[in-house]
Structure 1
Amino acid sequence: MFDIGFLEIIVVGVLALLVLGPDRLPGAMRSVAKTFRSVRNMASGFKQEVEEQLRVHELHENLKKAEQQGMKNLSPDLQKSVDELKSAAESVKEPYDKEKI
């Protein structure tokens, strides 16, 4: 990813040891690792959110196509999207039906 070789890592490590000293180096390494972890988690969350938004957009487009066809003679892909949206609507409606009982 960064194209850093073993020799470069050794040089950076020695420089960090000289600049920070042996007392502060472990804390600095933990801090850097924590920062990389948080950046990676943030990127992963962003990627998941974008994928979810694309899936919702695709379902919306498929629903528009199905409505244009009058909800009849739908292709299997469109029918699957319509069925998924119907089940999602039922699952949202379900808790409210239980409250009325």
Structure 2
Amino acid sequence: MFGMGLGEIFIIVVIAILFLGPDKLPSTMVDIAKFFRSVKSTVNSARATIEEEMRFSEMKQDALNYKKELTDASSELERLTNVTEIGSELNAVKSELDFNAIPAAPAAPKEPEVVTFTPKSKEIKPKEESL
């Protein structure tokens, strides 16, 4: 207890009996126990408050991360739906393509191609009988 050995505690008890006397010693021990209980409850309360603050800080960090993701997504959506930028890109594509030039039709073949098929004769073979 508090890094004290049995001999040290015994010496403290003997000194307390000598100074306080047998009349005040029991009430003093009760007061000391109440003091230690209040200190313990204060420490537990402080620990609970610190743990709650740590949870709040984690939730705050998560909320900031979500906010950043939403901001990035909205800026990306705005960039993709920006009409003036799309119009300028279309104008650039139009300038690359020449709509006035009509592509030349493929040249017609000089002589039509004639395809003929020669039928193959079907030979019917007799079935072999199996034993």
The RMSD of aligned alpha carbons is 1.4
Q: Which protein has greater RCO, CA pairs closer than 8 Å, 6+ apart?
A: 1
Equivalence for 1:23: 23
Q: Which protein has the larger Cα radius of gyration, Structure 1 or Structure 2?
A: 2
- Which consecutive residues of structure 1, in runs of 5 or more, have no partner in the other structure? 72-101
Alpha-carbon deviation of 1:30?
0.4
d(CA) in 2 for partners of 1:8 and 1:34? 22
Deviations 1:6-45 (A, max 9, x none): 0001000010001100010000000001001101100110
TM-score (norm 2): 0.52
- What SS does the corresponding residue of 1:69 show, helix, strand or coil? helix
- What SS does the corresponding residue of 1:3 show, helix, strand or coil? coil
Equivalence for 1:68: 68
d(CA) in 1 for partners of 2:57 and 2:37? 30
Select the structure that is richer in helix: 1
> How many correspondences in the alignment?
71
Q: Where has structure 1 moved over 3 Å in runs of 4 or more?
A: none
Equivalence for 1:44: 44
Identity score, percent: 35
